[in-house]
Chain A
Amino acid sequence: MTSSSEDLDAQPLLAVEDLAKRYGRHMGCEAVSFRLWPGEVLGVVGESGSGKTTLLNCVAGRLTPDAGRVLYSDRLGAVRDLHGIAEPERRMLMRTDWAFVHQNPRDGLRMGVSAGANVGEPLMAVGARNYGAIRSAAGDWLAKTEIDVGRIDDPPRTFSGGMQQRLQIARSLAAGPRLVFMDEPTGGLDVSVQARLLDLLRGLVTELKLAVIVVTHDLAVARLLSHRLLVMRGGRVVETGLTDQVLDDPQHPYTQLLVSSVLQP
């Protein structure tokens, strides 16, 4: 969506090289390589157990891979090896540059504190110390994610599932990340609520020029959100390409099966 994503020679924001993760003898993911540029949404699709969530967690620094590298180009253009740097540095990156949206909002929110504090926490974590400014930023984010600003002091446990997920998105974006990881972001939601969330995500991703890796088993979600797709099976990437091309003209037997198995992808 941005000029930077059109500059084909530009440095990628993220380069994943030959990543592998095993759980004992069981393979989580293996030989995964891809690159991601600013403003680009990469969809990772596959069935349960295909290794897509393992891959996401390794790339997001939440799991340590057994092999391979995750190289991130920071705001100053310096390339940092995510699993080679010290944990404090990695955590700092996660606070300032990265965000993670969980399938279950309970995993990404503090259910006991107010919506405003949930959105304000990432700001406070990077040093915001003006209550008025934090609160007004939180209010802006609630409005952006279509949550009534009057609910700013209510805890998320009083919110519906769709609202909780929107709040999690507000929280994850508040500190201005450059890269967002999403694990089945529309997972446990009703279809009508899903549509609203997808539309919201699409708008925010374009507006904020975010780079996003979104893991989903739902091909319709992948089609709406992502520019490019990785299709995973048995821990390996079996096909990659432009989203609509992979879904409309799949080449790998597994992708063909996947596409033909769903109702109206």
Chain B
Amino acid sequence: MSDATQSAAAIPARDPTYNFAYLDEQTKRMIRRALLKAVAVPGYQVPFAGREMPMPYGWGTGGVQVTASILTADDRLKVIDQGADDTTNAVSIRKFFQRTAGVAVTEKTAEASVIQTRHRIPEAPLADGQILVYQVPIPEPLRFLEPRETETRKMHAYQDYGLMHVKLYEDIARHGHIATTYAYPVKVEGRYVMDPSPTPKFDNPKMSDCPALQLFGAGREKRIYAIPPYTKVESLDFEDHPFTVQSWEQRCALCGAEDSFLDEVLTDDKGGRMFVCSDTDYCGDRRAQGFRGEAAEDAA
């Protein structure tokens, strides 16, 4: 794992040809207004005038616009993709903000003031004052069964949410259990049904009563929504098929953690594989504290 503070030195400080954090001030104000509304109405999708960003849709343009709008010169930014700080998407976005905003970056969850994420919530508990920004591909949880935007907006307005359970019903009918493991729908503060972006349902419980502010940006669909700190977030389920999170028989092969979300990694072309923490910072921290998994025994 590279040390982000070191690699930051290799990147030139803020490029003065860009406005701070790339977007112009009017645009940032507009997005902040949308964010305020989103915070005021937890789980409600606020439309905003999304801008073209210098990266393709699907690469986190929604999250980047949100981050750009809330970033200050004093912030310390962490960017993760599938829990890892060192994947292409995470590295590009981190470099983007180093270049356009000159902000400090970090891989340490605890040190970051703003964390932009795709597909995961860090394992380490978030704290008061932190902001978690999610990149969202499809913000509408009802889209699966109702293609008309006019209709889904009314369904939200009137809390007409029977359709959400149709999807879960279909899961059970087909697989014997609720097979939805990503983008598992939640109800926010007893009101709006929300798509938590394609995070694994493993992370759903972390959204509830979380000290950090959670912001969601969908670039293609131009929607922003939010979960304010300490908000109740419930995963939808049936009485006789209650919500459960994934669990693994294995522990992390590197740090031995048994409470984190594990990725399966192929180690050779003969079927060798191991399970490791998807959250690279969490795994590294544990190893630094002396925890060891099976595969890491020798390396220690």
Q: How large is the interface on B (under 10, 10 to 19, 20 to 34, 35 or more residues)?
A: 20 to 34
B145 within 8 Å of A (CB atoms): yes
A87-B158, A88-B157, A125-B160 known; A117 and B238 CB under 8 Å?
Answer: no
Q: Which of B158-176 contact A (CB under 8 A)?
A: 158, 160-163, 165-166, 169-170, 172-174
A122 within 8 Å of B (CB atoms): yes
Chain A residues within 8 Å of B170, by CB? 113-114, 117
Partner-contacting stretch, out of A20-28, A37-45, A127-135, A239-247: A127-135
A250 within 8 Å of B (CB atoms): no
CB <8 Å contact, B172 and A131: yes
A153 within 8 Å of B (CB atoms): yes
In angstroms, Cα B166 to Cα A153, docked, is 12
Total A-B residue contacts, Cβ distance less than 8 Å: 62
CB <8 Å contact, A124 and B160: no
In angstroms, Cα B249 to Cα A133, docked, is 33
A91-B158, A135-B173, A153-B173 known; A113 and B241 CB under 8 Å?
Answer: no
CB <8 Å contact, B158 and A116: no
A120 within 8 Å of B (CB atoms): yes
Identify which of B157, B158, B162, B169 contacts A131 (C-beta below 8 A).
B169
Convert B229-260 into 0s and 1s, putting 1 for each residue whose CB lies closer than 8 angstroms to a CB of A. 00000000111110000000000000000000
In angstroms, Cα B154 to Cα A134, docked, is 25
Interface of B is mostly: helix
A208 within 8 Å of B (CB atoms): no
A110 within 8 Å of B (CB atoms): yes
CB <8 Å contact, A121 and B241: no
Chain B residues within 8 Å of A1, by CB? none
Chain A residues within 8 Å of B172, by CB? 131
In angstroms, Cα B145 to Cα A114, docked, is 12
CB <8 Å contact, A121 and B166: yes
A113-B145, A131-B172 known; A121 and B240 CB under 8 Å?
Answer: no
**How many residues on chain A are close to B (CB under 8 Å)?**
25
Convert B122-148 into 0s and 1s, putting 1 for each residue whose CB lies closer than 8 angstroms to a CB of A. 000000000000000000000001000
Chain A residues within 8 Å of B157, by CB? 88
Chain A residues within 8 Å of B241, by CB? 131
Closest chain B residue, CB of each to CB of A175: B162
In angstroms, Cα B173 to Cα A153, docked, is 7
In angstroms, Cα B162 to Cα A131, docked, is 13
Chain B residues within 8 Å of A117, by CB? 166, 169-170, 173
A114-B170, A117-B170, A124-B169 known; A91 and B160 CB under 8 Å?
Answer: yes
In angstroms, Cα B154 to Cα A95, docked, is 14
CB <8 Å contact, B166 and A120: yes
Chain A residues within 8 Å of B160, by CB? 91, 95, 125
Chain A residues within 8 Å of B239, by CB? 129-131
A129-B238, A129-B239, A153-B174 known; A134 and B162 CB under 8 Å?
Answer: no
CB <8 Å contact, A88 and B173: no
In angstroms, Cα B239 to Cα A149, docked, is 23
A126 within 8 Å of B (CB atoms): yes
Q: Which of B39-83 contact A (CB under 8 A)?
A: none
A121-B162, A122-B162, A125-B162 known; A134 and B145 CB under 8 Å?
Answer: no
Add 6 more A-B contacts to A87-B158, A88-B157, A110-B145 (CB < 8 A).
Answer: A91-B160, A95-B162, A110-B166, A116-B173, A121-B165, A124-B166
17 A-B contacts, Cβ less than 8 Å apart?
A91-B154, A91-B158, A110-B166, A112-B145, A113-B145, A113-B170, A116-B169, A116-B173, A117-B170, A121-B163, A121-B166, A124-B162, A124-B166, A131-B172, A131-B239, A132-B240, A135-B173
Residues of B within 8 A of A (CB): 145, 154, 157-158, 160-163, 165-166, 169-170, 172-174, 237-241
